[in-house]
Amino acid sequence: MVQELIDLRQSIVEGRYQDALAIIDELEGMGKQAILRNIESFLVGLLIHLIKNQLEKRLTNSWAASISDSIVQIKKLNLKDNKKSYYIKQDQWLPYIEEAIEIAIRPVSIELFSGSLKPSQISKQINRDELTNISQELINLIYEYPVKNLPDEIDHVLVELPGGAEWIS
C-alpha cells in the first residue's frame, strides 16, 4: 500500500491523472478486500459456535457471547463509511455462509467431543440448511437494528436454539 501511495503522489505531481485515478481504484479495491476478509473471519467464528450448538444440543454463555460479538462486528465492518450502504447486501450472504460452514468444520472437530471426531465425521453430522437459515436470520438483524440494540435481538434468536431456553434462564 505504501508503494501505491508513492505512485499516486508521483502521478499527481506529474499530471498523470488517469494513472492517479487507476491507483485510487486499486487502493479502494484493496480496502474492500481487507474488509471482506475480516467479515469472513467473524462469519467463520459465528459458524463454529452454531455448529457446536447444533451438534452438542446446548448453548454456553461463552458460545452465546461469541455469536453475539461476531454479529456485532460483522455489522460494524459491513456498514460503509457513508452509514447508508453495505459491502455485502442482505441478499448476497449465501455463498459467504456456505464457505464459512466448510471452513468452520475443521476447528469444530478439534473443540467438540475432546477432538475425537474427524472433520469428515463432523461434516456428515451437520445440517447445513439449518445452519444457513440460522446464520441468515442472525445476519438479517444487522440490517434492521443499530449496534446498541443488536445484543438483545440476537438473544431472541439464541433462545430458540437447542439449549437456548436453559441458557437464558
Q: Note the pLDDT tens digit of each residue in 3-52.
A: 877 777 887 888 887 877 877 777 676 778 889 999 999 999 999 999 99
Strand-pairing partners, residue 86, are: 79
H or E element that contains 168: helix 164-168
Contact present, 32 and 71 (Cβ < 8 Å):
no
Kindly report each contact of residues 23-27 with a partner whose C-beta sits within 8 Å and lies 24 or more positions away, as own/partner: 27/1
Determine the Cα–Cα distance for residues 130 and 78; give it in Å rounded to an integer.
23
Query: Among 98, 90, 88, 103, which Cα is nearest to 138's?
Result: 90
Determine the Cα–Cα distance for residues 72 and 76; give it in Å rounded to an integer.
6
Question: Where are the chain's structural domains?
Answer: 40-168
Q: What confidence tens digit (pLDDT) does each residue in 87-144 have?
A: 999 999 999 999 999 999 999 999 887 788 899 999 999 999 999 999 999 999 999 9
